[in-house]
Amino acid sequence: MTRKFIVTGGMLIAVMLSVVGAASAQATEVPPKQAQVERATLTEGTITAFLEGTSTFPFTAELGEVIAFSLNSSAFDPYLEIHNADGEVIVGDDDSGPSTNSLLVFTAPENGDYSVLVRPFSEGATGEFSLSMIKTIPAVSPNEPVTVELSGTTPVARTLTTADDAYSITLSGDEAFDAALLLYDSDGFIAQQTESYQVQTLQLPKTMVEADQHYYLVIVPYEGQDVSLTLEVTPAHFVTLTADPQPIEFLADQYEDATIINVTEGERYLLTVSADFPVSVSVTVDGYEINTYASLSLSEAEGGSLIFTAGATGTTFVRINNNSYTEDGSLIIYLSIRPME
């Protein structure tokens, strides 16, 4: 689970009170405070160091500058914080990277001095870690594949300026690789993410975005990865389900997709899934916007249905997970939705 917090104003203050009763005649031993080590100024690239207590790395940034940070360790569960010049916590992250590693995209709120604080999530843990800072984030354009080189645990980042309202994003290579692929919005929040082991194609689930905004793609290799991959961004669209069955096609190595439904508060709906042969898929009404959640799982079946009541009027996603095996990896299923009489 990702633990992330943002402090937009004021100071984060911790106060510890120790009260000793008058009848107490013996002093209580106070454990020593963990050492805080200030390191050299952080620059773009990756550094490796040993952690005992906490470590801080100063850096400078300009107003609006976007910087990606990645913190990795196999010795302890790392936690990363960004502080301003007054020592206030601006943003922190625990597990957004692969496994229990930290990853965040930071936009500087003003010109000035900042620092990265590296600490273990569990107090007292020690060990070696690597910290990466990415200040150069080139653009990637739809329908223009680019080559990215992964090495060690150093992430690669690209900027996507959106023109359409949805995109399909694919990372592929000639040999199997292990990596995580994340899409951050302009506020530094994760819009979509996926990770996999020993695959030749890693596809981010089709994602709806806001037009005319900057999004940031971050690719994080797992330790020991040295591989050349192709990153491709393709404009996409979401099928809107109706009473007529709509075909949803899964390509080879594609395991997730999504469609859109429009519903009215209080109405009951029948969502139907069908295929031309037995399939294993799960279908979920992911209805945060309509205050509704419902799911259906098929295991080697040619179809099924679920009934749900819309908690609010609006538009939401139906997400599909494909767990089927086919000879060439492709699959077509059919989805439809209609109000119950």
Distance of CA 110 to the CA centre of its chain: 25
- The CATH class for the domain spanning 246-339 reads mainly beta
Q: Do domains 4-22+31-134 and 146-230 have the same CATH topology?
A: yes
Helix (H, G, I), strand (E, B) or coil at 291: coil
Tell me the average pLDDT of the chain.
83
Residue 38 has a pLDDT of: 60
| d(C-alpha 3, C-alpha 185), whole Å | 17
- 20: pLDDT strictly greater than 60: no
When pLDDT is averaged across residues 80-96 and rounded to a whole number, the result is 92
Q: Which one is predicted more confidently, 219 or 257?
A: 219
pLDDT tens-digit series, residues 188-213: 888 888 888 888 888 887 777 888 89
Residue 211 gets which letter from DSSP? T
- Low-confidence winner among 121-130, 154-163, 331-340 (lowest mean pLDDT): 121-130
Domain 146-230 has CATH 3.40.109.10: no
Report how far residue 135's alpha carbon sits from residue 157's, in angstroms, rounded to the nearest whole number.
9
Q: What is the pLDDT of residue 25?
A: 35
pLDDT > 50? residue 28: no
Please check the confidence at residue 2 and state whether its pLDDT lies above 50: no
pLDDT at res. 253: 66
Sequence spans of domains, the chain: 4-22+31-134, 146-230, 246-339
- The pLDDT value given to residue 4: 43
In the three-class reduction of DSSP (H, G, I as helix; E, B as strand; rest coil), residue 150 is classed as strand
* Distant-in-sequence contacts of 208-212, Cβ < 8 A, 24+ apart: 208/165, 208/166, 208/238, 208/317, 209/162, 209/164, 209/165, 209/166, 209/167, 209/185, 210/162, 210/165, 210/185, 211/162, 211/163, 211/164, 211/165, 212/161, 212/162, 212/163
**pLDDT band of 316, cuts 50, 70, 90:** confident
* CATH 2.60.120.380 at 4-22+31-134, yes or no: yes
pLDDT digits (tens, 9 = 90+) for 52-72: 888 999 999 999 999 999 998
Q: Quick: pLDDT tens for 266-279.
A: 999 999 999 999 99
**Cα end-to-end span (Å), the chain:** 41
d(CA 115, CA 125) in angstroms, rounded, equals 21
